[in-house]
Amino acid sequence: MFPSRYWREIPQRYRLEAGVCKSCGKVGFPPRTKCPKCGGTEFEGTVLPDHGVVKTFTVIHTPPSQFEDQAPYAVGIIELEGGAKITAQIVDCPLDEIKIGQKVRVEFRRIQEDGEAGVICYGYKCVPAA
């Protein structure tokens, strides 16, 4: 991961910054300059809520090289309050206890260690919520 490529996604990865379309209300994550739903071009900045529900998930046994030290690990699609969906790892729980419909909370975590240019990459992961 080259530093410029990593750096420009920081607002989304660290702070869940998103954009609400002023025409149709769709929450775009990451923020866009064209709304994928209505084509609108004006947005209001927002931050995604940090609570959501697991819509689906998998446990990866054959990982890409930069995740080899983490396997097996769970990844899921999480629908956050308000409707935006994200892909994130589900951690801090036994892999065989993860279920569709489970409530989770988004936390700031280390994602990958030592990518192509030695950058340690951070971002969001999900943990079980009470």
Q: Does 25 bind another protein (CB under 8 A)?
A: no
Compose the 73-112 pattern: x for residues touching another protein by CB under 8 A, - for all others. x-xxx-------xxxxx----------x----------xx
**Sites for another protein among residues 43-62 (CB under 8 A):** 55-62
Binding segment (CB under 8 A) for another protein, from list 15-23, 41-49, 120-128: 120-128
Cβ at position 87, least distance to another protein in Å: 5
Shortest distance, CB of residue 41 to another protein, whole angstroms? Answer: 19
DSSP letter for each residue of the chain: --HHHHHTTHHHHHH-EEEEETTT-PEESS--SS-TTT----EEEEE--SEEEEEEEEEESS--GGGGGG-SEEEEEEEETTS-EEEEEE-SS-GGG--TT-EEEEEEEEEESS-TTSPPEEEEEEEE--
| Residue numbers at the binding site for another protein (CB under 8 A) | 9, 13, 30, 36, 55-65, 67-68, 70, 73, 75-77, 85-89, 100, 111-112, 121, 123, 125
